[in-house]
């Protein structure tokens, strides 16, 4: 992985690379540092912009649909296979408490999406 570029490192490398810049730092340190800082911040790579509302909505639809599918699947498994035995007197095919935990967790997540945010009070 490439090393992350930091503006302070870039500022130092730029100042040390040019003897005229070093002389300017001795004579006019404040102005020279301000100009170096401006040059360094302009040459840094830009981060990705935040996604637009269409992309945000698409991601949320995928997340909610995935949780809805898990909820429906766990409800189906809970309702249909918990009472089915592999053999008489041995064990159940699925563990009811595990499926119930998955179901209640997904329902709690989906309910949390409907609750108002405490930050918007």
Structure tokens at 94: 């699925």
Q: Is 1 within a domain?
A: no
DSSP 73: H
Would the pLDDT of 100 be above 90? Answer: no
> Residue 103: which domain range?
53-120
pLDDT class of 83 with cuts at 50, 70, 90: low
Q: Is 115 within a domain?
A: yes
pTM of the model: 0.51
The answer on 57 and 37 residing in a single domain is no
pLDDT in tens, 31-76: 888 888 887 777 767 777 888 999 999 999 999 999 999 999 988 8
Q: Label residues 90-104 b or e (16+ Cβ within 10 Å = b).
A: eeeeeeeeebeebbe
Structural domain count, the chain: 2
**In the chain, which ranges are continuous DSSP H helix?**
7-17, 19-27, 29-43, 53-81, 96-114
Q: Is 23 within a domain?
A: yes
Q: Is 2 within a domain?
A: no
Which pLDDT value is given to residue 1? Answer: 39
Would the pLDDT of 87 be above 80? Answer: no
Would the pLDDT of 4 be above 60? Answer: no
């Amino acid at each position: 992985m490439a090393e992350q570029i930091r503006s302070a490192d870039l500022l130092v490398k730029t100042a040390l690379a040019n003897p005229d810049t070093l002389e300017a730092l001795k004579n006019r340190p404040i102005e020279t540092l301000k100009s170096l800082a401006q040059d360094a911040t302009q040459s840094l790579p830009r981060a990705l912009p935040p996604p637009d509302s269409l992309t945000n909505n698409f991601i949320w639809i995928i997340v909610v649909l995935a949780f809805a599918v898990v909820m429906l699947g766990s409800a189906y498994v809970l309702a249909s296979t918990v009472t089915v035995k592999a053999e008489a007197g041995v064990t159940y095919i699925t563990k009811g408490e595990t499926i119930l935990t998955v179901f209640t967790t997904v329902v709690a997540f989906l309910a949390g999406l409907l609750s108002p945010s405490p930050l918007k009070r």
